[in-house]
Structure formats: C-alpha cells, structure tokens
Amino acid sequence: MNSPLLPDRYELGFQIGTGGFGSVWAAADNLTGAQVAVKIPKHRDSDTLSQFRREAEVTSAITHENVVRTLDYSIDPAAPYLAMELIDGHTLSHKTNLFGPMAPEQIVSIAKQISAGLDAVHSAEVIHRDVSPANVMLDREGTAKLMDFGLATYAPPQFRDTFPLIATPGYMAPERLHGQFGTLEQRGGPQSDLYSLGAVMRHMMTGLPIIPGEKLEDLGGLRPDTSRELRALVEQLMMPDPADRPRSAAETHNRLAKLSPHSAATSTQAPSLTVARGTRRAASAAPTPNGTLLALAATGIPSVGEFSGAGSRGSRSSPTVPPSALGRSAERSSGNEQRFGPGDGRV
C-alpha cells in the first residue's frame, strides 16, 4: 500500500502497532529491497516534530549490533517518518510474561548485550532514559537490541533536565524522580541508565515487573540458584546514590563478562514456574515460544500481535512463580508495566 505521506521509496505493508504518538508499519524499501519498520507520528505540531527530530538524530548517531539501527528519516512537516530495521522477534517483557524467571546464563548473556549497547549509546554522548524490558528486543538468534529512543537526550548537562519526566515506573532511577542524589551532571546521566539496567536484570531474575515504591525482596532468597557476584552486581546497579553504582556501562559489561554461565549458576535448583499454557517448566530451561516469533518494529510501539493496545499489557496471561520461591512477589500481576508522565500513551 502506498501512502501519500511517504516517498515512493517505501511501500507500506501491515500495521505493526499504534499508540498516542503515532503508528508503525512494516514496509518494503523499494530502493534496497529490504523489509523495514516505518514510524509515522500522528501529529505535526512543533513539539511533536522537535521530539521526532531528536529521536531521529540520536539514533542515527549510534551504530552497534545491540542498538536498533535507523536507516532513513525525514522531518519534513508534510511527511515526517523514521525508517528502522525490522526485528523478527519479541520484547524481553513479552518473554518473561510468557515464561517467567530466566536462567542465570540467559540473564548474563542479555545483560552483557544491553550493557554493550549502552556503552555505545553513552560513547555517543546520549542518554537513553527509558531502559526497560519493553524496550529490549530479542531476535531469533537471541541478540538483544535496545530500542525506543523517543525519550533520549544528549549528555551535556544543559540538555538533561529540559524534557518532561516520562519513563517506565519501577525502572526509573530515583534521582530522575526526586533529584536528591548527584550533581547536575549525574541527575539523568549515564548512571540513571545503569540503574535501569539493574532493574531490568532483576526483572529477568524474578520474571515480574518492579512495582514503584514497593520494598524489594532479597535476591538471595528469590533466586538462590544465581551466584553472589551476579546478585551483588544487580544490587549495586540499583543503589539509590548514582556515585555508588558502577562507573560506566563498559565497567558493567566487563564484570558481566567474568560471569560465565557456569559461575553465574550454583548447584541449587532454579525456581519452577507455570507457563500461561499451564505447563510447568524449570527456569533454567525456558524454551523459545512455539510458532512464529512476533515481527516487531524497534520503536517502542506495542505490536498488534503482542499487545491488545498501546500502553496496555493486561490482555496477556501472566506466569506465576511458587510463593516458596518468590514470596509476596508471586502475587503481582505481570501486566502492570506502564509509562507515566506528560503524554501518557506515548509510543
């Protein structure tokens, strides 16, 4: 399907997702023959176009296998669009919602890739500001890719506090919420992304979302099958004071690289979980979902196939973990990951 809002280079296929900010389409690139994802904003006002420009410029400056690639964009008010690689896979939040806690070696592998992507992002003097399970894509080969740079900003401190407070509750660093820790350079800086990485790792360990304001239970009791070193790293990444966290994404990646699959796991059996279909499986052997993996655009817009609507995860079945393994956390619903702030429903 041709669109009057796009150049002849792109031929739209099916709609991948839609939300408050706009829509994403699978499209054929008639110039290269590749299948791409094209994001089209709903509105054309100056604020929307300014945000769209920032996202396009930020992502275009980063080239890394663990960051979704921007291929082409236009900020022409008459026809703005953003063309990116189309990922054949699913989000990390979708995987944990289906299969619950992940095996220690999977946690380490994905966390290494996210930290490598963040190192590239920070090296480009960019702060992601919304690292969460919903913004990590996993392709068929297990490659993790950071996506959705709609909230990203540049690293110089004069830019950091100039945009509205929007992010995923539970994964946002406390200094971004309250500003009580760190200098101006630290508030909302690279250390805030590291906090979010730690929260994502904790999510992989428990298979459940982090509830804002809720006291976090000890990881040793929740996941005794993981090593002390892995748990200590998660806890350090989530320290309230940015100065107490690892110094950089590169340092975090190096520490994770020393945690081989064997050293990250202990002899203690991993907690079991109940899959949505009712089949009990060991967390150390969580399988790939049956059937075709969801083709999702790396844009942060919920897929029609994965979600019932923008910003809503409630239609999906939630895995449960025995209370003996996860205590009160087992009572949570895994469909509570929402964004908040000005522009709720933004994609």
Q: Give the DSSP per-residue string, 234-290.
A: HHHHT-SSGGGS-S-HHHHHHHHHT--HHHHB-SSPPPEEE-TTS-EEEGGGPPPPS
- Domain for residue 345, yes or no? no
Flag whether 1 is in a domain: no
Annotated binding site for ATP: 39
Q: Residue 79: which CATH number? A: 3.30.200.20
Whether residue 106 is found in the same domain as residue 227: yes
- The count of domains in the chain is 2
Q: With respect to residue 340, please indicate whether it lies within any of the assigned structural domains.
A: no
Which helix (H) or strand (E) covers residue 47, if one does?
A: helix 46-60
Question: Rounded CA gap, 231 and 114, in Å?
Answer: 17
Q: Show which of 88, 112, 134 is a domain's final residue.
A: 88
198 and 97 both lie in a single domain: yes
Q: Are residues 112 and 260 in the same domain?
A: yes
Domain identity same for 14 and 132: no
pLDDT at 136: 97
Active site residues: 130
For residue 251, tell me if it sits in a domain: yes
Per-residue pLDDT in tens (0 to 9) along the chain, 347 residues = 656 567 889 999 999 888 777 899 999 999 999 999 999 998 889 888 988 888 898 899 899 999 999 999 998 888 899 999 999 999 999 999 999 999 999 999 999 999 999 999 999 999 999 999 999 999 999 999 999 898 888 876 444 444 445 668 889 998 887 665 555 555 668 999 999 999 999 999 999 999 888 889 999 999 999 999 999 999 999 999 999 999 999 999 999 999 866 566 665 555 554 433 333 333 333 333 333 334 444 444 544 333 322 333 333 333 333 333 333 333 443 344 444 333 333 34
| Full DSSP string of 59-116 | HHT---TTBPPEEEEE--TTS-EEEEEEEEEEEHHHHHHHH-SPPHHHHHHHHHHHHH
DSSP 172-228: S-HHHHH--SS-TTTTTSHHHHHHHHHHHHHHHHHSSPPPTTPPPPPHHHH-TTB-H
Report the distance separating Cα 199 and Cα 238, nearest Å: 7
Known binding-site positions: 39
Mark whether 213 and 263 lie in a shared domain.
yes
Query: How many angstroms separate the CA atoms of 234 and 219, rounded?
Result: 9
Establish if 2 belongs to a structural domain: no
Q: Which domain holds residue 23?
A: 10-88
d(CA 215, CA 160): 28
Q: Which amino acid is at 50?
A: S
In a domain, 80, yes or no: yes
User: Domain for residue 347, yes or no?
Assistant: no
107 within a domain of the structure (yes/no): yes
